[in-house]
């Protein structure tokens, strides 16, 4: 019998929810959300009791052209102040910096910034860059996380070494398992959480799932059961390709009485769900499912979904599967 | 560390997959599929190596008007023979009979029928009717299952007693946990599988999930891990309201080398996914999510989804939530 005293079902105060709709969702529209929408998301997340809202990337304008990408790829301080308005809510504001696409010189001292937290996203091979950004952000007064992307494509000893470095050289609030390709099953979540627990001392474990196989919410719960306490989610699961764990489902599951689902339902109905008319994300889309089950980057599936709806190639799932299983002579 | 020797990941020969697209999907279109589509599904399922295909209900024409419902609500023998054609495949053909809406006199002796298996769906309160149909079907030579619906709305001692009756009075191949309202989390699956295991001897445990919280596939895997061996799935997850565990995801997970995903991808692309243009099912639909997290029948959510797309009530998720949480003075 499941031990219900383990606290899986009850309110666990250590749990921190991070809504990253504008950041991860921004990968589907080049971070081109309207100010009105981002303000509505910010207000709703504050009202819901969620602890952290990530309002975009702070990536380098040398690497992303501001003519091509919207303001939430850069999160200039003036733009964020415009979101927040006169009175900042209790919810902390995070921005994400890609270890290979961001410059820590773009960070003001925290007391001059509206940002509270810098989340550094990195591949294992860029871990030294990530640690440098973490250290610089921390020196400026920010809370930090490091989010290890593409976990299902790592070479194990390199991952182990990266985790040991993070443990020794940083003071992150949390270190994340990022299932970028939506390729993990529950037993894989167990495996990675245990690995992280082995190497990381006095640091929380975070989990960021993609929904390629409709497992993002389930894997997030599995993380909770195994004692991961930092949980990423997005409204309607909006995010790259298959998207993420849905914030509304996660709040429906968590028992912390401070969470209120209602403001989340409001912003979902008024602002996020309608975006599905023009942007295709979600775990019900077959090419994303195929990419997930084959542990592939979703790029080719995304290209397929950009074809016109009446293009027969778009619905030829067998052909997509065949060229994905055996794409060449490798 | 997860014990990978437990066989969760490897091919387990006891596993039986039942594709019930035409039966459960038929709840979304009054069982009005074209003969062409059903033939294509039958051929694809046979080619995929899936062991059982459920082609609809055999419910009573006294209780369902054949002018209102399509042929797959009744599964007349002549209609099924038309599906199968000259040569029957290795996949067994099942029909479902609702214990409270079917008449066992509609069953021919098996040797005169194209049907191999009768699955009896029942609420706990109708268990005696279900057992009678099971016995009559078995006497005519059919394999049988009993599928206990609405498991999350049962009174526990009545469920316990029903399971003991099924154990003593039937010879079902499998007895199913049916999460009709998509309300179960993984720990609930553990709980029910252990309960079934306690009462059922020499009978397999089946699992039929709904996807209200995007947990249908995850809960099916949880069932596998806990040793449920009969697994229901539908193409694209097509089924009532939020739908079911997707056949294509389940085949992507299972390791039995006899399964071939390709024919499934063909029929999904050509016939099933396009139905989404006109029929709304799936776990990304917020009212179905709300119904699942509140352990409600999906009826009210289904009504909401029938409103015109531009009706503001359709997207007013907060209002739907409020009246669902506290629908009256009960």
What band does A241 get if pLDDT is binned at 50, 70 and 90?
A: very high
Contact B189, B223 (CB under 8 A): yes
Mean pLDDT (whole number) for A17-32: 98
Contact residues, chain A, for B4 at CB < 8 Å: 187
On whether both A305 and A215 belong to a single domain, the answer is no
For residue range B121-135, list pLDDT tens digits in order.
999 999 999 999 999
Query: Residue A190 and residue B289: Cβ atoms within 8 Å?
Result: no
Checking DSSP bridges between strand A174-179 and strand B230-233, what pairing results, if any?
Answer: unpaired
Chain A closest-CA separation from residue B35 CA (Å): 22
For residue A68, is pLDDT > 80? Answer: yes
Token readout for B318 is: 């907060």
Q: In terms of residue numbers, what domain contains A118?
A: 12-277
Query: Residue B265 and residue A315: Cβ atoms within 8 Å?
Result: no
Contact residues, chain B, for A317 at CB < 8 Å: 265-266, 268-269
On whether both B242 and B141 belong to a single domain, the answer is yes
Nearest residue of A to residue B277 by CA position?
A309
What band does A327 get if pLDDT is binned at 50, 70 and 90?
A: confident
Please state, in angstroms and rounded to a whole number, the distance separating the CA atoms of residues A216 and A286: 16
Chain centroid, CA B211 distance in Å = 11
Contact A282, A269 (CB under 8 A): no
Mean pLDDT (whole number) for A291-302: 96
Mean pLDDT (whole number) for A38-57: 98
What band does B328 get if pLDDT is binned at 50, 70 and 90?
A: low
On whether both B321 and B256 belong to a single domain, the answer is no
Q: Which residues, including other chains, have CB under 8 Å from residue A329's CB and lie 6 or more apart?
A: none
- State the pLDDT at residue A1: 37
Which of B286, B294, B295, B311 best tests the A interface by mutation, with the highest count of A CBs <10 A? B286
On whether both A137 and A97 belong to a single domain, the answer is yes
Query: Residue A2 and residue B187: Cβ atoms within 8 Å?
Result: yes
Contact A208, A178 (CB under 8 A): yes
Residue B17 domain flag: yes
Which residue from A185, A252, A269 is facing B316, i.e. has the nearest CB? A269
Which residue from A217, A236, A321 is facing B215, i.e. has the nearest CB? A217
Residue B3 domain flag: no
Residue B76 domain flag: yes
Token readout for B201 is: 């001897």
Please state, in angstroms and rounded to a whole number, the distance separating the CA atoms of residues B28 and B281: 8
Q: Which residues, including other chains, have CB under 8 Å from residue B120's CB and lie 6 or more apart?
A: B96, B97, B98, B99, B102, B130, B133, B134, B137, B144, B145, B146, B147
Mean pLDDT (whole number) for B310-326: 93
Query: Residue B8 and residue A187: Cβ atoms within 8 Å?
Result: yes
Q: For residue B219, what are the CA distances in angstroms to A144, A243, B12, B244, B260?
A: 34, 20, 18, 11, 22
For residue A24, is pLDDT > 50? Answer: yes
Q: How many domains does chain B have?
A: 2
Please state, in angstroms and rounded to a whole number, the distance separating the CA atoms of residues A171 and A292: 32
Residue A121 domain flag: yes
Question: Does A106 lie at the interface with B, CB-CB under 8 angstroms?
Answer: no
Mean pLDDT (whole number) for A135-145: 98
Query: What CATH number is given to the structural domain containing B271?
Result: 3.20.20.70
Please state, in angstroms and rounded to a whole number, the distance separating the CA atoms of residues A314 and A321: 12
Mean pLDDT (whole number) for B44-50: 98
Nearest Cα to Cα of residue B235 among B275, B202, B294: B275
- State the pLDDT at residue B329: 47
On whether both B152 and B43 belong to a single domain, the answer is yes
Contact B132, B97 (CB under 8 A): no
On whether both A290 and A273 belong to a single domain, the answer is no
Contact residues, chain B, for A235 at CB < 8 Å: none
Which of A269, A272, A325 best tests the B interface by mutation, with the highest count of B CBs <10 A? A269
Residue B2 domain flag: no
Contact B145, B173 (CB under 8 A): yes
Contact residues, chain B, for A309 at CB < 8 Å: none
Token readout for A243 is: 């998207």
Percent of chain B at pLDDT exceeding 70: 96
- Does this model's pTM top 0.90? yes
For residue range B76-86, list pLDDT tens digits in order.
999 999 999 99
Which residue from A273, A282, A284 is facing B315, i.e. has the nearest CB? A273
On whether both B232 and B312 belong to a single domain, the answer is no
Contact B209, B220 (CB under 8 A): yes
Chain centroid, CA A22 distance in Å = 10
On whether both B297 and B225 belong to a single domain, the answer is no
- State the pLDDT at residue B255: 87
- State the pLDDT at residue A255: 87
On whether both B172 and B145 belong to a single domain, the answer is yes
The three-point CA angle B116-B118-B120 to 5° equals 170
Chain A closest-CA separation from residue B158 CA (Å): 20
Nearest residue of B to residue A186 by CA position?
B218
Please state, in angstroms and rounded to a whole number, the distance separating the CA atoms of residues A103 and A314: 39
Chain A closest-CA separation from residue B69 CA (Å): 28
Between A and B, how many residue pairs show a Cβ–Cβ distance under 8 A?
139
Residue that the structure tokens 């992307």 belong to: A149
Radius of gyration (C-alpha) of chain B in whole angstroms? 19
Contact residues, chain A, for B248 at CB < 8 Å: 286, 289
On whether both B195 and B271 belong to a single domain, the answer is yes
Which residue from A194, A221, A283 is facing B186, i.e. has the nearest CB? A221
For residue range A208-225, list pLDDT tens digits in order.
999 999 999 999 999 999
Please state, in angstroms and rounded to a whole number, the distance separating the CA atoms of residues A89 and B289: 28
What band does B1 get if pLDDT is binned at 50, 70 and 90?
A: very low
Which of A317, A322, A324, A325 best tests the B interface by mutation, with the highest count of B CBs <10 A? A317
Terminal-residue alpha carbon distance, chain A: 47
Token readout for A144 is: 């930090």
Question: Does A311 lie at the interface with B, CB-CB under 8 angstroms?
Answer: no
Terminal-residue alpha carbon distance, chain B: 47
Radius of gyration (C-alpha) of chain A in whole angstroms? 19
Please state, in angstroms and rounded to a whole number, the distance separating the CA atoms of residues A120 and A98: 6
Question: Does A124 lie at the interface with B, CB-CB under 8 angstroms?
Answer: no
On whether both A167 and A294 belong to a single domain, the answer is no
For residue A7, is pLDDT > 70? Answer: no
For residue range B255-269, list pLDDT tens digits in order.
899 999 999 999 999
Residue B330 domain flag: no
Nearest residue of B to residue A245 by CA position?
B214
On whether both A237 and A311 belong to a single domain, the answer is no
Please state, in angstroms and rounded to a whole number, the distance separating the CA atoms of residues B145 and A108: 66
User: What number is the ipTM of this complex?
Assistant: 0.94
Chain A closest-CA separation from residue B321 CA (Å): 8
Please state, in angstroms and rounded to a whole number, the distance separating the CA atoms of residues A239 and B167: 47
Mean pLDDT (whole number) for A35-44: 98
Which of B225, B317, B325, B326 best tests the A interface by mutation, with the highest count of A CBs <10 A? B317
For residue B5, is pLDDT > 80? Answer: no
- State the pLDDT at residue B9: 58
Query: Residue A266 and residue B218: Cβ atoms within 8 Å?
Result: no
- State the pLDDT at residue B327: 72
What band does B326 get if pLDDT is binned at 50, 70 and 90?
A: confident
Residue B6 domain flag: no
For residue B113, is pLDDT > 80? Answer: yes
Residue B137 domain flag: yes
- State the pLDDT at residue B96: 98
Query: Residue B293 and residue A185: Cβ atoms within 8 Å?
Result: no
- State the pLDDT at residue B8: 55
Nearest residue of B to residue A195 by CA position?
B1
pLDDT mean across residues, chain A: 95
For residue B71, is pLDDT > 90? Answer: yes
Which residue from A221, A284, A293 is facing B185, i.e. has the nearest CB? A221
The residue count for chain A: 330
Beta bridge pairs of residue B16:
B230
For residue B242, is pLDDT > 70? Answer: yes
Mean pLDDT (whole number) for A219-237: 97
Chain A closest-CA separation from residue B126 CA (Å): 28
For residue range B269-283, list pLDDT tens digits in order.
999 999 999 999 999
For residue range A159-192, list pLDDT tens digits in order.
999 999 999 999 999 999 999 999 999 999 999 9
Helices (H), chain A: 21-25, 35-48, 77-84, 127-139, 156-169, 186-199, 216-225, 247-253, 261-267, 286-293, 299-305, 317-325
Nearest residue of A to residue B195 by CA position?
A1
What band does A11 get if pLDDT is binned at 50, 70 and 90?
A: confident
Interface of B with A in 285-304 (CB under 8 A): 286, 289-290, 293
For residue A138, is pLDDT > 90? Answer: yes
Mean pLDDT (whole number) for A147-157: 97
Question: Does A184 lie at the interface with B, CB-CB under 8 angstroms?
Answer: no
Which residue from B268, B290, B322 is facing A286, i.e. has the nearest CB? B268
- State the pLDDT at residue B11: 83
Phi, then psi, of A319 in degrees rounded to 5:
-60, -40
Beta bridge pairs of residue B145:
B119, B174
For residue A326, is pLDDT > 90? Answer: no
């Amino acid at each position: 019998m499941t031990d219900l005293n383990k606290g899986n079902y009850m309110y666990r105060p250590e749990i921190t929810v991070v809504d990253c709709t504008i950041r991860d969702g921004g990968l589907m529209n080049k971070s081109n959300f309207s100010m009105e929408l981002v303000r509505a998301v910010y207000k709703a997340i504050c009202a819901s009791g969620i602890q952290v809202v990530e309002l975009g990337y702070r990536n380098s304008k040398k690497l992303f052209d501001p003519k091509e990408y919207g303001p939430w790829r850069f999160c200039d301080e003036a733009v964020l102040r415009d979101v927040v308005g006169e009175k900042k809510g209790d919810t902390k504001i995070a921005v994400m910096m890609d270890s290979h696409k961001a410059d820590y010189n773009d960070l003001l001292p925290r007391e001059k910034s509206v940002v509270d937290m810098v989340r550094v996203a990195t591949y294992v091979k860029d871990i030294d860059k990530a640690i440098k950004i973490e250290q610089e952000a921390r020196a400026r007064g920010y809370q930090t996380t490091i989010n290890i992307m593409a976990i299902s494509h790592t070479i194990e000893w390199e991952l182990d070494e990266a985790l040991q470095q993070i443990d020794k050289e940083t003071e992150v609030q949390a270190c994340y398992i990022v299932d970028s390709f939506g390729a993990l099953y529950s037993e894989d979540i167990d495996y990675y959480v245990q690995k992280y627990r082995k190497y990381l001392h006095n640091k929380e474990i975070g989990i960021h799932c993609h929904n390629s196989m409709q497992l993002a919410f389930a894997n997030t719960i599995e993380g909770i059961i195994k004692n991961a306490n930092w949980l990423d989610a997005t409204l309607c699961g909006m995010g790259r390709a298959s998207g993420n764990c849905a914030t509304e489902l996660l709040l429906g599951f968590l028992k912390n009485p401070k969470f209120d689902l209602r403001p989340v339902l409001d912003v979902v109905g008024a602002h996020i769900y309608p975006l599905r008319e023009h942007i295709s994300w979600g775990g019900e889309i077959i090419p994303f499912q195929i990419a997930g089950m084959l542990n592939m980057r979703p790029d080719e599936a995304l290209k397929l979904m950009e074809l016109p709806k009446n293009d027969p190639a778009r619905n030829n799932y067998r052909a997509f599967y065949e060229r994905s299983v055996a794409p060449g002579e490798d």
